[in-house]
Every structure is written in C-alpha cells, then in structure tokens.
Structure 1
Amino acid sequence: MPIIALAAALLISGQATTPPQRATSDLTRDLNSAPPSAVTPPASSSASSTPAQTPARTTTQTLPPIGQSPAAAPRPAPTTSPAQRPAQTPSSSNTQALPPIGQSPAATPRPAPTPSRGITPPATSQLPAASTTTSRPATTTAAPQATMPAPVTATPPPATPAPAALNAAAIAALPFRIELPAGLTITPARAGAEANIYRVQRGDQTLLMIYAGPSSQFPIYDGEMVRAGGRASVVVTEGGRRLAMEHLFQRPTAPKEIHVWITSVTGADRDLAERIGQSIDAR
C-alpha cells in the first residue's frame, strides 16, 4: 500500500511538472517560424582596429532542370546616399515606353514644328497641288538655214558635129584615087596638124580606113611583105587564098605617106574591103 501511494504521488508530481516543458516547446517552435530579425552587432571597443565584419549573406538559388537556361536573378538595387543620387529631372513628354520583347516599337508621331514669332505659316489647303510634270513654255527657235552655194554646173563644151560624108567633088580632091561602090561613103576625121583619117563605111559599119599624113604606123598586120606598083603590101593567106590586108604609098610631097588597112570584118564584108583597098592609088 505504501508503494502504491508513492507511485501515485510520483505520477501526480510528474504531471504537475510537464506543462511548463510543453509551453517552452511551443514558444521555441513559434520563435523558429518567425522571420529572422536584424541583429545589430555590438560596437567594437577599438575604433582604429579592423572594421567590424558582417556575416556573409547566404543566397540560396534553386538550379533549373537540365536542358533549361537559368532565369536571370534580379540584382539588388545599389544603395546610394542622398548626396550621390543625381538630381531627378522631370520626365520629358517624348519619353516612350519600350514595347515587350519580340514586338516592334510603334511609330512615334513627330511633333508639329512651332513657328517662330511674327511668321504665320501658310495654310496647307491654300497651297496649289504640286505637279510632277513641270510645264515649260514652248519656245520655237527657227533653225538657221545653211546657205548652200548654188552648184556650179560645168558647161560642157559644144558638141562637135559629126563630120559629114564627102560628096563626089570632095572625093575627087583627095590625094588618092578610090573606086567606091554604091551605098558606101567616105567620112573624114582629123588625126593631127597635118594628118587626116578617112573612113570607108556602109551605114555605121567601117570596112576600110585610110591615113594621109607625114608618118604612118605601117605595118599593122603580120604577113608577107610584097612591093609592087609603087606600094608595099602585107599579104596573108586565109582559107587557101591570099588577101592584101594593108598597103603603104609614099609621096615626095605632103601628104608623104598614105596608109590603107582593112578593119576587123569577116565574110563578104572582108572580101569587099579587100577589093576597095586594092583599088586605091596615090595621085
């Protein structure tokens, strides 16, 4: 019985001392959950000694997951004294807030120019519309006309009339004799100061030519030279027959030489020209 009473007394005394411990635990837990208060370090006894060291501020930063870039940590604003802070100027009316990242800034309207005193800007509505095409007064400038000299037309010399064919009286006065068949004519032409050339023609075709002057160009053809009857002749053989192609007569007086030759004719005209040449004789 005394043992039971002692145990009961101890139990009662233990319950009486327990409440103070519970109250201390609750107070400690409340103090730990409260934010830390600023602790003012005690002043150092010696001012000239090493400055007071402040406890290092522990910054805890949560690392981002692997593969993502860490977010930029905000930097604390620097603490400056009132004397070091620059004087704040009133914000300008042109200050523009920056747009969010990725958007282009809006166009800033330009302020209208303030006209100077005493000058009134003209109203825009009264100004004439500008024209892109500048009209210029048409100027008509007469181009100077070049005065060209009149072309000088060379006056051709008067045409020499074609010599007329000799009549019977003129043929009889020639320095040579000739048997001229009907239908043929003799036309004279000048060959020099003292020389003349005569053409024996049938129409426009020349069959025979006669030179009367101081010096001829005998012989013209290549052939056999034959001298007979006071003249020298050049004879050629054509088709088994002999033809006298040219003749030369020499005289003691002017004209000193008479040269007769057949032109380039063929066939019957060649035979006719050869017969007329054979009929010529110096007077």
Structure 2
Amino acid sequence: MKIAASAAAALLLAGAAHAQTAPLRTPPPAPPQAGSGVTIDLNSGPPVPAAYLAPPPAPETTVEPEPEPERAAPAAAAPTPAPTVTPPPPMPIAPPADPDARRSAMPEPVAAPPAPGVTVLDSAARAALPFTADLPPGFELVAGRPGPDFRVYTIRRGDQSFVMIYAGPASQFPIYSGQMVEAGGRASVIAAEGGIRHALEHLFQRAEAPREIHVWTMSLDGADRAMAEQIAQGVDVR
C-alpha cells in the first residue's frame, strides 16, 4: 500500500507540472480497472479548474431569411379624355335687304372737281401775257400749273390740245427733227413730208423775263394738224 501511495503522489506531481507547461486541454479519462486502487485515488484527487475544461459547443442557430416585400403592380395609365369641341353657334340669317332702303342709304354722287392748277384765261388775262395768240372760234387758252420760274399754256378745243407754249428762262428747243430756219425774229423747225413743208415748232428769245417763248404743235392728222400749224404760226411775242 505504501508503494502504491507513493506512486500515486508521483503521478500527481508529474501531472501538475505537465499542466503548467503543456497547452490546456482536458485529459482523456483513464480506462477504469477493476480492483485498482490507483484509479480510485486518481478519481479522488483535487478538482480540475473550470478554465482548463473545454467550453461546451454553442447551439447552432438557424437564421431564417427575411421575406421579400411584395412589389406593387404598376398602376395602369389613365386614358386621356378626348377634347370636347364645342360647335360655333349658327350665324343668324339676315333678312333680304330692301332695295329702296339700300338705295336711300347710298351717298349721292359728287361731281369731280376740276383739275387743280388749270385756268381758262379770258381776254383780260390773255392781254397780260408776254405773247399774243390768235384763237379761232371754239378755241381757248388754258394756263397750267406754274413752275418755280416758268409756265406752260395750252391752246385747245374742248379736250383736244393743238398747241403748247412755254414761257420761261430756258426751253427744250428743239423737240422735233427737221430743218432749222430763222425768220421773223424766231427760229423754226420745218419738216418735209410727202412734198409738203410743215412748221412744227418755233422759238422766240427776249431781252427780259421770260427770256424764251417756245411754241410747238401736237401730233395730229389731217385738218387738225393744219389748224395746229396755223395757230402756232400766229403766236408772237410782245
């Protein structure tokens, strides 16, 4: 028994030394032996600290996945209502106009005023002109709109002009093509047509204003042309 007790004490000391140097782990239990006193002594040794005992395995925790939130179905777009078109109100039908009332509502025609700047000269006005002219029966002498320093006159019968007369500082003589002839204090343009000489225009020059008197015939035919030439040749300066 003493030998067995000494052996047990030696095992305890060796185990304590081994526990301080070896990594902490739970030694596997020795298999029991029937009738062995050593086993009984070992089991009756001092308790092993809890720090040297392996912790029990943690229970496995099962994590259930969170359910996905249900996605709301996209709302269907509301149909766009068709624009409401309001028809215009019907136009009122006016009753037929009374022709007599419409005629009375029309303004009375107004006579057109005479052309501005046109004056028919009487005998007194003709006597004040810088030239003289013999007017056949039915003819008149008309003064047109004056310029800044000149004036143009017309010898006519009704609406038909026969002779034009310029009185001013500088005329556009000659305006016709023909032979230039100077006679009776004037320059004349003579044109021969079919063996007949026609005096188309005449120019008088004066020492005072108006400096020039230019007389020319209109483009006429037959008896009117002969009458125009006769009147133009009867014009003279004062």
Question: TM-score under structure 2 normalisation?
Answer: 0.52
AA at the equivalent of 2:215:
V
Cα–Cα, structure 1 residues 219 and 191, in superposed 2: closer, same or farther, change >3 Å? Answer: farther
Cα–Cα, structure 1 residues 134 and 241, in superposed 2: closer, same or farther, change >3 Å? Answer: closer
SS in 1 for 2:197: strand
Structure 2 counterpart of 1:249, from 204, 208, 211: 204
Structure scoring higher RCO (CA < 8 A, sep ≥ 6) equals: 2
AA at the equivalent of 2:217:
I
1:282 and 2:232 matched: no
Q: Deviations over 1:51-89 (max 9, x none)?
A: xxxxxxxxxxxxxxxxxxxxxxxxxxxxxxxxxxxxxxx
AA at the equivalent of 1:233:
S
Cα deviation for residue 268 of structure 1 reads 0.4
SS in 2 for 1:253: coil
Uncovered stretches (5+) of structure 1, i.e. residues with no partner: 1-132, 143-157
What pairs up with 1:120-269 in 2 under 5 angstroms? 161=116, 163-269=118-224
**How much is the aligned-residue C-alpha RMSD, in angstroms?**
2.6
Does the Cα contact within 8 Å between 2:117 and 2:145 map onto a contact in 1?
A: no
AA at the equivalent of 1:254:
A
Q: Deviations over 1:237-281 (max 9, x none)?
A: 123221110000000100000000011111100000000011111
AA at the equivalent of 1:176:
F
Answer 1 or 2: which has greater helix percent. Answer: 2
d(CA) in 2 for partners of 1:137, 1:190: 69
AA at the equivalent of 1:175:
P
Cα–Cα, structure 1 residues 216 and 137, in superposed 2: closer, same or farther, change >3 Å? Answer: closer
Q: Deviations over 1:194-249 (max 9, x none)?
A: 10000111111111100000000000111111101110000111232211100000
SS in 2 for 1:271: helix
Percent identity, aligned pairs only, is 55
Cα deviation for residue 177 of structure 1 reads 0.8
Cα deviation for residue 164 of structure 1 reads 2.6
What pairs up with 1:103-114 in 2 under 5 angstroms? none
What pairs up with 1:92-107 in 2 under 5 angstroms? none
AA at the equivalent of 1:218:
F
d(CA) in 1 for partners of 2:114, 2:184: 43
AA at the equivalent of 2:203:
L
SS in 1 for 2:144: strand
Cα–Cα, structure 1 residues 162 and 190, in superposed 2: closer, same or farther, change >3 Å? Answer: closer
d(CA) in 2 for partners of 1:267, 1:162: 31
d(CA) in 2 for partners of 1:179, 1:201: 12
d(CA) in 2 for partners of 1:136, 1:245: 86
Uncovered stretches (5+) of structure 2, i.e. residues with no partner: 1-78, 89-112
d(CA) in 2 for partners of 1:210, 1:238: 24
Cα deviation for residue 160 of structure 1 reads 5.7
d(CA) in 2 for partners of 1:245, 1:183: 22
d(CA) in 2 for partners of 1:268, 1:189: 26
